[in-house]
Amino acid sequence: MARPLTALDLGAGNGWLSNRLAQRNHNVGAVDLTLNDFDGLGCHRFFDSAFTPVQAEFDLLPFPNGAADLLIFNASLHYSENYLKTLSESLRVLAPNGTLVILDSPFYHDARSGGQMVEEREGLFAKQYGFRSNALKSRNYLTYSTLQELRAQLNVDWRFITPNYGLLWEMRPFKAKLLGGREPAKFHVVVGRSSD
């Protein structure tokens, strides 16, 4: 059996992924800012497996250098206000042969499509709740060129794994083009390893 890893689930929310990793005998820290018990770290008490909830900002991790074998940003990296800062801090904590995984963050070729998606989302939120919910300057999306810049700045090689979401999903870009809509987001599993 593979050895248990020390893993950090960064932006863990209610900790469901931490729970799944802990069920596989990994040593897991679930890191988030929120502590409530409906979508925050307080939910850890509802899970059977043992993992450690840690209230922290992912730009300032309370862990020593090289402490983790695996870092996962699951639907959370795009909340970062500064990808270089967030990922530099992650890499500080990552062991030299460790793996960084980014998943469930929206990717665009064209930053204008990402900007349009944010505009649409904030507009809907404002309609529903009366304010745009944009006090945090989260980046909200990634572009492929952003990731290439980060590759050069951080010396990380990225590998893209693209799950098959079915034909209808694959057709979305063509449909958008035909109807004059913006580029739809893509969601990859991005695996990063230090190239040093």
- The smaller minimum CB distance to ligand SAM, of residues 3 and 45, is found at 45
- The smaller minimum CB distance to ligand SAM, of residues 33 and 111, is found at 33
Tell me: does residue 57 bind ligand SAM (CB under 6 A): yes
Tell me: does residue 114 bind ligand SAM (CB under 6 A): no
Is 52 within 8 Å of 31 (Cβ atoms)?
A: no
- The smaller minimum CB distance to ligand SAM, of residues 121 and 173, is found at 121
The nearest distance, CB 104 to ligand SAM, in angstroms, is: 6
Stretch that binds ligand SAM, among 12-20, 110-118, 149-157, 158-166 (CB under 6 A): 12-20
Segments of 49-185 assigned E as strands = 52-55, 68-74, 94-108, 142-143, 156-161
Tell me: does residue 84 bind ligand SAM (CB under 6 A): no
The residues near 94 (Cβ < 8 Å, ≥ 6 apart) are 66, 68, 69, 71, 100, 194
Is 86 within 8 Å of 59 (Cβ atoms)?
A: yes
Tell me: does residue 47 bind ligand SAM (CB under 6 A): no
Tell me: does residue 37 bind ligand SAM (CB under 6 A): no
> From CA 59, how far away is CA 186, in angstroms rounded?
25
The DSSP annotation for 110-136 comes to: SHHHHHHHHHHHHHHHHHHHSS----S
Paired with 186 in beta bridges are 107
Tell me: does residue 58 bind ligand SAM (CB under 6 A): yes
In order of 30, 45, 118, the CA distances from 10 in angstroms are 6, 18, 22
- The smaller minimum CB distance to ligand SAM, of residues 83 and 158, is found at 83
The nearest distance, CB 195 to ligand SAM, in angstroms, is: 26
Tell me: does residue 79 bind ligand SAM (CB under 6 A): yes
- The smaller minimum CB distance to ligand SAM, of residues 173 and 187, is found at 187
Which residue ranges make up the site for ligand SAM (CB under 6 A)? 11-13, 16, 31-34, 57-59, 74-76, 79
